[in-house]
Amino acid sequence: MNGGYMGKLLRVDLTTGTVTEESLPGEAILRKYVGCLGLAMKILNDEVPPEVGPVDPENRLIFMTGPLTGTPAPSSSNFVVASINYDVPYMAGTAHSHGYWGAYLKMAGYDGIVVQGTAKRPVFLWVHDGQAEILPADDIWGKDTHETEDLVKKRVGNGQEVSVAAIGPAGENMIHGALIQNDKNHTAAKGGMGAIMGAKKLKAIAVSGRRGVPMADPAKVLEVTEVWRNNIYAAESVGKLLSKGGITRVYGYVGQTSMLAGKNLSDPEWGVTYSSNIVEAAKEWWVTPVSCYGCPIACSYRVEITTGPRKGTVATLGGGGENTEGAAAMIGVLDPGTALWLTDLHDRLGFDSSAAGCSLSLAYELYERGIITKEDTGGLELKWGNADAAVELLNMMIRREGFGAILADGPKQAAERIGGEAPKYAVHIKGTGYNLHDWRPVWSVLLGQVIAGAGPCWQAPGVDAWATEPDLGYPEFTPGTTAEGKPEQVKKTQMKKLWEDCLGVCWFATWGVPKAIELAPQALAATVGWEDFTSDEAFQVGERVINLERIFALKRGMTAEHDLDVSPRLLEAPPSGQAKGKSIEPYLKEMVREYYRLMGWDEETGKPSRETLSRLGLGEHAEAIGV
């Protein structure tokens, strides 16, 4: 093993206030789990027993890069944050982010950071050039994520070479859906990782370094990288769709395909108007693409809004579009400038807009239906489109004050607290908001969100929308509202996605990219020196990580019934749009069972068989999960 890894982890114990260096696991373990998601899940399984709760000091908060992070490989910016899932506590929480933080951590000399314990007072961690310090953060506790980044950079030496990952008030107050933001454009948003960080009183981690990432065969890495970068634009890949701040292309697409998540999923046709409003407005705005480390796509963007009531506002946003739908479309906001302003606000507060948006939109629909009134909301008029009321309600949620306290633990709990007909209108999977758009027209995506091993998230996109996968045997999109073949699509795309999540490259550099299933293993082999590493071994890494996430959840009490914890609204046939009158509900249980069978799991319990565990080198977990 000659490259790819820096060879060291940082162990940060906030209870004792100590930081120690540890060697990375040996080559046998690294080849089995590669890095990033795989290695983080290995450490989480090894170090966190099932009786530990999300906010207990014994819980771990793991920041991990991959062997390609910080290399010339395209979009080599990825890092993962892993812990117990705060929003779905019987599962692991794994959240990905990009920007510069992961690359700079490696340039500082470390592959990852394992945080344990709880500080007595707010602190931040400063990692630079082979050194690490725990520093006081009392003066920045209470600041939003952007303010925190600026203040920390000023404290440690302002400059472009410093990257900061921070929580906002939502994380400090341990609110459902709290995220970690870095570089003002990028978020580790899923699983409530910001709440875990807040429970540990860790406000931020700043990283900086000048060390190069070693590579076994630099010339071969550059050769593979050139082909890989060209292939991103050689087909209709997601990276091509999102490239150079592709806000107009994204919203044009979701509007045309009835996938815009608007008004709590109650009115798909409304989403067409919302989408066209953003597409038209963006033509007048100053949209500046913002690239991550080594990225040819630049899906993030900085927007100066030059028209409408929010004229003069500057918003910094990530690519993809889901965050804007959660922040604005789900509560019926039509003005495009206000939509981006609200999205930027969620990021500053440290709030995943998918999770927060599903709680807010529930309240708005209940208010519109007369199920709740001003007497319930503390005087707020929650009519569709009332952005000012949303801002006030967000802050009430963060303070756990009044009606905000009812919403602060996610849409399912909010609906149960309100009672009556409220659960009928909640939008959730396993109790939390999912990656918005409206997935009812594309059942492979919806199934992928349902069976994802870290709570609802992007693990298995299927091939109904966004990009085809010819290299997996899917040269064309498959019909969205049929059950046939969906479990196999989900299994294949999940194995591919989770293997790629171990590398340290962004998914947008591989999703729908021709020959990515060959190029990524070639890049790994040339970087690390594993000349015999193949695509087959890569897919087995992905399968191993899927099973490791399942093992973690089963140890914590997850059952097959939890995979069917899907809100009624998502099981309804949409009232309009391309999926009008078509519901996944009659097929979902059997689709999940078929997925279990394909994975080598018991179709009744969802538990991996002993044979499956043994084949993947996970046999030591069999007794713990009762097989």
> Is residue 368 very low, low, confident or very high in pLDDT (cuts 50, 70, 90)?
very high
Helix, strand and coil percent figures for the chain, each rounded to 5 = 45, 15, 40
> Is residue 235 very low, low, confident or very high in pLDDT (cuts 50, 70, 90)?
confident
- DSSP of 366-412: HHHTTSS-HHHHTS----TT-HHHHHHHHHHHHHT-THHHHHTT-HH
Per-residue pLDDT, 321: 73
Residue 247 has pLDDT above 80, yes or no: no
Q: Say whether both 404 and 552 belong to one domain.
A: no
Residue 94 has pLDDT above 90, yes or no: yes
Residue 320 has pLDDT above 70, yes or no: no
Q: Say whether both 344 and 481 belong to one domain.
A: no
> Is residue 608 very low, low, confident or very high in pLDDT (cuts 50, 70, 90)?
very high
Q: Does a structural domain hold residue 229?
A: no
Q: Say whether both 200 and 262 belong to one domain.
A: no
Instruction: Find the helix packing angle between 353-368 and 387-399, rounded to 10°.
Output: 120
Q: pTM for this structure?
A: 0.97
> Is residue 286 very low, low, confident or very high in pLDDT (cuts 50, 70, 90)?
confident
Cβ(63)–Cβ(79) below 8 Å: yes
Residue 293 has pLDDT above 90, yes or no: yes
Q: Say whether both 389 and 490 belong to one domain.
A: no
- What is each CA distance from 595 to 451, 483, 489, 592, in whole angstroms? 9, 12, 9, 5
Residue 298 has pLDDT above 90, yes or no: no
Per-residue pLDDT, 394: 98
Domain boundary, last residue among 425, 458, 485: 425
- What is each CA distance from 252 to 262, 265, 377, 441, 557, in whole angstroms? 15, 18, 35, 16, 42
Q: Does a structural domain hold residue 214?
A: no
Q: Does a structural domain hold residue 213?
A: no
* Tokens 């206030």 sit on residue: 17
Question: In degrees rounded to 5, what are phi and psi of residue 317?
Answer: -135, 150
50: left (phi over 0), alpha (psi -120 to 50) or beta: alpha
Between 14-28, 50-64, 149-163, 197-211, the lowest mean confidence (pLDDT) is in 149-163
> Is residue 439 very low, low, confident or very high in pLDDT (cuts 50, 70, 90)?
very high
Q: What is the spatial order of strands in the sheet that 112-116 belongs to? A: 18-23, 8-13, 112-116, 61-65, 79-84, 92-97
| Dist CA 325 CA 433 (whole Å) | 12
Task: Count how many residues are written for the chain.
Answer: 627
Q: Does a structural domain hold residue 432?
A: no
Partnered with residue 103 across adjacent β-strands are: none
Instruction: Specify the CATH number for the domain of residue 566.
Output: 1.10.599.10
Q: Say whether both 202 and 92 belong to one domain.
A: yes
Instruction: Give the pLDDT mean for 74-97.
Output: 98
Per-residue pLDDT, 111: 99
Instruction: Specify the CATH number for the domain of residue 372.
Output: 1.10.569.10
Angle at 110 between CA 105 and CA 115, to 5 degrees: 85
Which tokens is 237 given? Answer: 């890949």
| Type of residue found at 490 | V
Angle at 94 between CA 89 and CA 96, to 5 degrees: 150
- State the SS3 of 479-547: CCCCCCCHHHHHHHHHHHHHHHCCCCCCHHHCCCCCCHHHHHHHHHHHHHCCCCCCHHHHHHHHHHHHH
Residue 253 has pLDDT above 90, yes or no: no
Residue 325 has pLDDT above 70, yes or no: yes
> Is residue 386 very low, low, confident or very high in pLDDT (cuts 50, 70, 90)?
very high
Between 235-249, 254-268, 312-326, 346-360, the lowest mean confidence (pLDDT) is in 235-249
Q: Say whether both 29 and 148 belong to one domain.
A: yes
**What average pLDDT does the structure give for the chain?**
95
Instruction: Give the pLDDT mean for 302-309.
Output: 91
Q: Say whether both 246 and 153 belong to one domain.
A: no
Q: Does a structural domain hold residue 137?
A: yes
Instruction: Give the pLDDT mean for 301-328.
Output: 88
The beta strand positions in 173-321, using DSSP E, are 180-182, 186-188, 202-208, 286-290, 300-304, 314-317
Report the Cα–Cα distance between both ends of the chain, in Å, rounded: 36
Q: Does a structural domain hold residue 578?
A: yes
Q: Say whether both 246 and 188 belong to one domain.
A: no
Query: Alpha-carbon dihedral of residues 551, 115, 292, 192, nearest 10 degrees?
Result: 60
Per-residue pLDDT, 159: 64
Residue 570 has pLDDT above 80, yes or no: yes
Residue 40 has pLDDT above 80, yes or no: yes
> Is residue 237 very low, low, confident or very high in pLDDT (cuts 50, 70, 90)?
confident
* Tokens 């039509």 sit on residue: 334
Residue 8 has pLDDT above 90, yes or no: yes
Q: Say whether both 177 and 247 belong to one domain.
A: no
Domains identified in the chain, total number? 3
Between 37-41, 234-238, 472-476, 578-582, the lowest mean confidence (pLDDT) is in 234-238
Residue 622 has pLDDT above 90, yes or no: yes
Name the percent of the chain lying above pLDDT 70: 98
> Is residue 244 very low, low, confident or very high in pLDDT (cuts 50, 70, 90)?
low
Instruction: Specify the CATH number for the domain of residue 126.
Output: 3.60.9.10
Q: Say whether both 606 and 508 belong to one domain.
A: yes
Residue 76 has pLDDT above 80, yes or no: yes
Q: Say whether both 418 and 376 belong to one domain.
A: yes
| 462 DSSP 8-state letter | T
- State the SS3 of 405-460: HHHCCCHHHHHHHHCCCHHHHCCCECCECCCCCCCCCCHHHHHHHHHCECECCCCC
Instruction: Give the pLDDT mean for 558-564.
Output: 98
Residue 307 has pLDDT above 70, yes or no: yes
Per-residue pLDDT, 248: 72
Residue 246 has pLDDT above 70, yes or no: no
| Dist CA 588 CA 608 (whole Å) | 20
Range of the domain at 251: 235-425
